[in-house]
Amino acid sequence: MKYLVLFFLLFCVSSCNYFETKKVTSQEILNEDLQTFNWNEVDEYPTFSSCDSSLTKAERKSCFEATLTTHITTQLAQEKIVVTKDLNDTINITFLISELGILTVVDLKNSEQVKLQIPEIDILLKQSLDGLPKILPAFKRGQQVKTEFKLPVVIKVN
C-alpha cells in the first residue's frame, strides 16, 4: 500500500503541467505586438520647422496643414486664371510624405466643371508645391515613416 501511494504521488507530480514553462520566441512577441499596433496613427505628424513650437500633436498637425494650405493658396493667387463662369468648388489632393520629408502628389480629385474651366489646374497645383519649406517627416515609435494624407483646396473664382 505504501508503494502504491508513493507511486500515485510520483505519477501526479510528474504529470502536472504546473512545472512546465512555456517558451515564447521573439517572433511570437513581434506578431502579438503587430496585431495590437495601430498602423493608422503616427506618434508625430509631419511638420515644418515653423510648427515645432506648437505644444500638442493636434496643434502641430493643424499648423502643418495651415502652412501647406497657405502656401498653395498664395502660389495660386499669383497665377492669372481666366474662367467663363463663376467657380466655387473643392479639389481634394492626396499627398505622400516620404521618410526623408519629400512631398509628392499621389492623386488630385476635382470636378468636371473645374477641369473644363481650368484645364491646367493639376499642373498649377503641383507647381505650387515647389517652393515649400523643408518638411520634417512623421515618426512612429521613434522611426521616420511615410505618411499619406488628404487636403481639400477650395477654388473660388469670380
Would the pTM of this model clear 0.75, i.e. be above it? no
Phi, psi of 82 (to 5 degrees): -110, 125
Q: Are strands 87-97 and 147-157 parallel, antiparallel or unpaired?
A: antiparallel
Measure the CA–CA gap between 8 and 55, rounded to whole angstroms. Answer: 68
If you average pLDDT over residues 77-90, what whole number do you get? 82
Q: Are 90 and 150 in contact (CB under 8 A)?
A: no
Domain boundaries, the chain: 47-157
Coil/strand/helix, residue 3: helix
Q: What is the pLDDT of residues 11-65, one digit of tens each?
A: 666 665 655 666 777 777 777 766 666 666 777 888 888 887 767 888 888 888 8
**What does the pLDDT read at residue 21?**
66
| Count of C-beta atoms within a 10 Å radius of residue 113 | 14
User: What does pLDDT average to over the chain?
Assistant: 81
**What does the pLDDT read at residue 100?**
92
